[in-house]
Amino acid sequence: MSSMSLVRNEISERLAAVGYVADRDLATALWLMDLLKRPLLLEGEAGVGKTEVAKALAALHGAPLIRLQCYEGLDQNAALYEWNYQRQILAIKAHEGEKADLTEAQIFSEPYLLERPILAAIRAETRAILLVDEVDRADEEFEAFLLEVLSDFQVTIPELGTIAARSIPRVVLTSNGTREISDALRRRCLYHYVDFHDQDREVAIIRARHPGIEVALALQVARLLQAIRKEDLRKVPGVAETLDFAAALIGIGQNDLQQDPSAVHDLLMTLLKTHEDQARLTHEVVERLIAKVA
Amino acid sequence: MVLPALQAPSFDLGEPARLRFAAFVRSLRSNGFTIGLAESQDALRIFCAIEPTNKTVLVAALRALFASHRSDWEKFDAIFNAFWFAHGTKGTTRFEDRRQAPAQSRPPAGPEDGPPRSGAGERPERPDSAGDPASAEGGRDRQGGAAAQEALSKKDFRHILNQEELRRAYALADRLAAKMRTRLTRRDRAAKHGRRLDFRRVIHRSIARGGTPVDLVFRRRKTKPLRLVMLLDTSGSMSAYTPAFVRFMHGMLGSFKYASTFLFHTRLVDVTGAMTEKDPQRAIDRFSLMTEGVGGGTKIGESLATFNARYAARTIRSRTAVMIISDGYETGEPDMLAKEMSALRRRCRRIVWLNPMAGWQDYAPEAQGMKAALPFVDLFAPAHNLESLEALEPYLARV
């Protein structure tokens, strides 16, 4: 039993090695994915790094990452498979005069099949990471289809028959909560709520991604971001924005936020992505925030 | 990563612990968690895989398994601690010893939790009550004769006093809601014009033509059912109309596949859960507390701000109509109301504002709040009697 715990601890270490700073709860959830063979549903605000979890997981296992971006109107054709119509038309021309049913059998066969993410994931030689991104944007019908695939890991193509999984992918689903996803799908999944990182972890992330940054500056940036997120903003800056902001600071060679607050204000475009938010954080507000955190 | 091969759980907790664990799962269910048999079995596998004394890992693992919503996620630790450590025994999870511990008193399910769901079945769809209660009551109505019904439909809600009239008014509201939905569904079926070619079928059919796509097949654009969000003003000035509209909302909720309902006075309350109670009288009882004894005016702007911030993302999608039922007497800042209305306008497809006062003679929308909101409203209509509600039907069918 203790060896299992060790494996669980190893996940945190290996994630750190691939540049992802995970908290204990997330490491536990990732470990459970393998133990219980369940998909992991990640929920949280936009920008907290949900997609990054899947990328880190792929790096951790050295597995290919197959991404399925969901959108309203996503159907099975886009998610599962499609026929290569151009090739089919050419083949029909080439076989003109032959028996129609023979032609038909030929053009609806493996070489004419185009894999889409889900089919690619279950037909991969090695266990892939299947990232079903923003599953809440797809509609209810797709959710039901996804639930079926996630429990059986086999799909049926009418012209070809049933295709069983060559390997069972590790599945990560993300949701921004724009729509309630069904209880059945939720119940099938492990659940992890991704929150904005606390200050220490944000410092760790900045330092992991920008190894050259001074520790004091990384701390200032993390503190400033914590303060900015408390302001009443329409679009709260996420981790990606933090990293852009830190990169910009390094770029202009500023090692202390207090050194030139107006330059910092100019760099806020890396953090604030709407006009209203930019108008809200005036020079005075920024100076006040910097004075507080530096 | 190399994980030891995982077999079916061979780890036996022992009878008392199993019972205690089952009680824990029941306690979670009564707190709104959806946990089936498969989850309980997986929990046992977790027990096998980690040392039971390692509480932090155990909690994190069970939380990931049992939670399926953010709210579950946030309350799990408290429930876990209350259940297993109610006696202040901290640091260990001693299954066998805790047999005698009194079962944690379960808080009654909140109004939004619904009955505890168990077993492997999916959560049932919202009961589609369009057919049964409405048609049953409708049948009785027809016995009353068309003329009587017509008179009733013109009667101002304020003047419907006796119980029998009220009941029939409710039945009419139910039927009206059902009618709106049928209209919508029919419209969906009629939309057959394709925009995109269905290549798969075109290729199939072109084989016989030597590969020339002669017979074209189109893909029909699937139309989505209309979603409805209703916000009902239950402040003092609306009190004469509240029961009738609550009933109307209940009818709408039953017949729309996707509908959410909110009440507001000085603040906004999500009553969709309470409303899905099948028996309308019980539904009304369940949230009568929310509507009663409200003083201190109507803060429409603030209520809308709450809606925009907390509920809009979840309830509003592209084909969503927002229906606000209010007299527009705003005691907050009209500017705020205008700002929130404009934010709401950007999100949804149509805003319908129903104002009971608008049915009165010589009414002009002069209340400050009403004036501030009007520029953002697509349809401003009276709603003082059933006839005025019925007049809405063709409009909603077009949304």
Among B392, B358, B394, B398, which Cα is nearest to B230's? B392
Which three-class secondary structure state does DSSP give residue B175?
A: helix
In B57-125 the beta strands, taken as DSSP E runs, fall at none
Dig out the tokens for B311 from the structure.
């509920």
Q: Do A173 and A149 contact (CB within 8 A), yes or no?
A: no
Q: Which of A8, A32, A187 sits opposite B36 (nearest CB)?
A: A187
- C-alpha span between A98 and A106 (Å, rounded): 11
- Distance (Å) from the C-alpha of residue B160 to the closest C-alpha of chain A? 39
Q: How far apart are CA A264 and CA A41, in angstroms?
A: 37
Rounded-to-integer distance, Cα B341 and Cα B310, Å: 15
Q: Looking at CA atoms only, how far is residue B67 from chain A in angstroms?
A: 6
Between the two ends of chain B, the Cα-to-Cα distance in Å is 54
- Strand pairing of A40-43 and A170-175? parallel
Q: How many Cα atoms sit within 13 Å of A148 on the Cβ side? A: 12
CB proximity under 8 Å: B 33-72 to A = 34-36, 39, 42, 45-46, 48-51, 54, 56-57, 60-61, 63-65, 67-70, 72
CA angle B391, B397, B399 (to 5 degrees): 110
Residue A261 amino acid letter: P
The mean pLDDT value for B373-379 works out to 87
Amino acid at A25: D
pLDDT at A127: 92
Is pLDDT of B4 > 50? no
* Residue given tokens 């770029």 in the structure block: A251
d(CA B198, CA A216): 60
Min Cα–Cα distance to chain A from B123, Å: 6
Res B97 pLDDT > 50: no
Residue B98 sits at the chain A interface (C-beta within 8 Å): no
Q: pLDDT tens track of chain A, all 294 residues?
A: 333 444 677 888 888 888 788 888 899 999 999 999 999 999 988 888 898 899 999 998 899 999 999 987 788 778 999 889 888 888 888 887 788 788 888 888 889 999 999 999 999 999 999 999 999 888 777 888 899 899 888 888 888 889 899 999 999 999 987 666 887 899 899 999 998 888 988 999 899 889 889 999 999 999 999 999 988 888 889 988 999 999 999 999 888 888 888 888 889 999 998 888 888 888 889 889 998 887
- Look at residue A85 in the predicted model and tell me its pLDDT: 87
Let me know: does A255 contact A185? Beta carbons within 8 Å: no
- List all residues 6 or more positions away from B279 whose beta carbon is below 8 Å from its beta carbon: none
Most trustworthy range by pLDDT among A119-133, B8-22, B355-369: A119-133
Q: Rounded to an integer, what is the distance from CA B326 to the centroid of its chain?
A: 20
pLDDT for the residue numbered B147: 47
The whole-number average pLDDT for the span B216-243 is 76
Residue type, A39: P
Residue of B nearest to A144 (CA): B122
Give the pair of three-digit tokens for residue B98. Answer: 């805790």
pLDDT at B109 over 70: no
In this complex, how many residue pairs, one in chain A and one in chain B, have their CB atoms less than 8 Å apart?
132
Residues A96/B210, Cβ–Cβ less than 8 Å: yes
Start-to-end CA distance of chain A, whole Å, equals 46
Helix spans in chain A (H):
2-17, 24-36, 50-61, 76-79, 85-94, 100-107, 117-122, 140-152, 183-188, 199-209, 215-230, 239-251, 261-266, 275-280, 283-293
How many angstroms separate the CA atoms of B173 and B355, rounded? 17
Model confidence pLDDT, tens digit, residues B32-48: 788 888 999 899 888 88
Is the per-residue pLDDT at B83 higher than 80? yes
* Digit-coded pLDDT (tens) for B245-296: 877 787 777 767 788 889 888 888 888 877 776 666 666 666 655 555 455 5
ipTM metric: 0.81
Cα separation, B155 vs B143, whole angstroms: 19
CA distance linking residue B321 with residue A182, whole number of Å? 22
Q: How much is the pLDDT for B19?
A: 86
What are the Cα distances from residue A178, in Å, to A74, A136, B68, B216?
A: 16, 6, 16, 37
Residue B383 has pLDDT above 90, yes or no: no
**DSSP reduced 3-state for A282:** coil
Distance from CA of B59 to the nearest CA of A (A): 9
Q: Is the per-residue pLDDT at B313 higher than 60?
A: yes
Q: How confident is the model at residue B352 (pLDDT cuts 50, 70, 90)?
A: confident
- pLDDT band, very low/low/confident/very high, at B12 (cuts 50, 70, 90): low
Give residue B119's pLDDT band: very low, low, confident or very high (50, 70, 90): very low
Residues A88, B6: C-beta atoms closer than 8 Å: no
Q: Rounded CA gap, B392 and B374, in Å?
A: 18
Query: Whole-angstrom Cα distance, residue B382 to residue B393?
Result: 13
Query: Looking at residue B285, what is its pLDDT?
Result: 64
Nearest to A241 by CA among A255, A222, A260, A258: A222
- B203: pLDDT confidence band, cut at 50, 70 and 90? confident
Q: CA-CA distance, B130 to B176, in Å (whole number)?
A: 10
* 8 A C-beta contact, residue B224 and residue B185: no
Question: Residue B162: its pLDDT value, please?
Answer: 61
pLDDT tens digit string along B122-171?
A: 333 333 333 333 333 333 333 334 444 455 556 566 565 566 666 666 66
The residue of chain A nearest to residue B125, with distances taken between CA atoms, is: A182
